[in-house]
Amino acid sequence: MAIKLSVKESKWHGCRYLVIEPCIELWDIVERTNTWAAINSWCRETYGPVGDVWSNQSERWYANGGKYYFRNPADLTAFMLRWSQ
C-alpha cells in the first residue's frame, strides 16, 4: 500500500531526528487500523524494538503521535521506499 508522507527534522534527547508522518486517508476504520498495524510491525521487524520516547535515551527510532522518528537517514530512506506513493 502506498501512503503520502511528510518529512521534517526535529531534536529529541539532544539528537537530530528525521521525522516522517504518514497520511493515511482511509475512511474504513478497520482498514485504517490494519494499515497502522502493518507499518508498526514492519518498523519493528526492520529496525528492532521501538525506543521509549520518555526514557532519556537517544534510540535508533521512535513512534509517537502518528509520526516516526529516525536517527539514521538510511532508515528514513527505507521507510520511504516501502510506504511512499
pLDDT tens series, the chain, 85 aa: 568 899 999 998 889 999 999 988 777 788 888 999 999 999 999 999 999 888 888 899 999 999 999 999 999 999 999 998 6
Whole-number pLDDT of residue 53: 83
3 state DSSP class of 42: helix
Q: Which long-range contacts (C-beta less than 8 Å, at least 24 apart) are formed by 62-69?
A: 62/12, 62/17, 66/21, 66/22, 67/19, 67/20, 67/21, 68/19, 68/20, 68/21, 68/22, 68/43, 69/10, 69/12, 69/17, 69/18, 69/19
Whole-number pLDDT of residue 24: 81
| Strand pairing report for 61-64 and 4-12 | unpaired
Instruction: Name the pTM for this structure.
Output: 0.88
